[in-house]
Amino acid sequence: MRVLVTGAAGFIGSHVVESLLDAGHDALAYDALLPAVHPEPERSRDRIPADVEFVQADVRDPDALGRALRGVDAVCHQAAMVGLGLDLDDAPHYAGCNDLGTAVLLAAMARADVPRLALASSMVVYGEGRYDCAEHGRVEPGPRVVADLAAGRFEPPCPHCGRPLTPGMVDEDARVDPRNVYAATKAAQEYLATSWARATEGAVAMLRYHNVYGPRMPRDTPYAGVAAIFRSELRAGRPPRVFEDGGQRRDFVHVRDIAAANVAALEWTGKADPGAGRAFNVGSGTPRTVGELAAALASALGGPEPVVTGQYRLGDVRHVTASNRRLREELGWQPAVSFADGLAQFVVPA
């Protein structure tokens, strides 16, 4: 199949292009090369193989999309503004890039009769992950409270009895509960995509990425993830600064496994029923804490020990880790890069 990949010159998109080619598909790379994301656009452009057609345009440009979608069988939508979105001043930028961009893309796909979509979503749509109370069973913690966080009480209590909770693995049937601007835009993207699928009898796989790391990860920009931030601090001879108490549980998944999931998802859309929309968690299935990540990177780079700061961001969640059972059972995907191997590759200078 011929696949248009938006955000193709980015961290994840460039790996998706490679995985599509390795699987015998044809890729068309589409990226605006916005300066905030690509401070060295030529270097980003060089991530795309020379024999792959490249279109430099914004997903909010319907004319450019209309031309690019000619002869395309499917779309892999990676283009997005990422990060938390710290306050409502960020909302117009996030909604413009993520939600308006997705809406323009979906409208163009409908006009071009392109029926298959893999959408890059995120685990942030869940808000907090799964929690169980010894007395009340499965519960949903309320919003985090500044007074608790400032006092170092980072673990969410049971909303019924106030007792400590046990975090678990969240599955795709969990309620969507976005708790920051970025999360709200990713949830909206999913709603837009499922509406498109029903209206056009297309099919969409929504891939809820957990914490992605690996080669080409952005560094020293507002879009750098926690692994890249820690690595940059260590390479500068500074200790990684860990927020809260370092006990936040996450699922760190290698970018090559993310790319493989996109290929599997696109192939699934060719077999799915008309109008199908299906969410899939994409994670390693092995939870780790942020403190453990910082310590492992410090050890691998021979840098100073992490410093636990007690700082917090209200839009963060405490624990969210993935059950990847649906992806494994329905799409035949398996994570192929172990944490140890992925970390060893990640610390090697680019």
Q: Give the residue numbers marked as catalytic.
A: 182
Give residue for tokens 């936040």. Answer: 248
| Segment holding 93, helix H or strand E | helix 91-94
Return the amino acid letter for 253.
V
Q: What is the DSSP letter of 324?
A: -
Looking only at the bridges linking them, the beta strands covering 203-209 and 276-282 are parallel
SS3 of residue 320 by DSSP: coil
Q: State the Rg of the chain over Cα.
A: 20
Q: Give CA separation, 305 vs 168, 255, 293, 302, 343, in Å.
A: 28, 26, 12, 9, 17
Looking only at the bridges linking them, the beta strands covering 249-250 and 288-289 are antiparallel
Euclidean distance between CA atoms 4 and 77, whole angstroms: 8
Contact 16, 22 (CB under 8 A): no
Euclidean distance between CA atoms 342 and 336, whole angstroms: 10
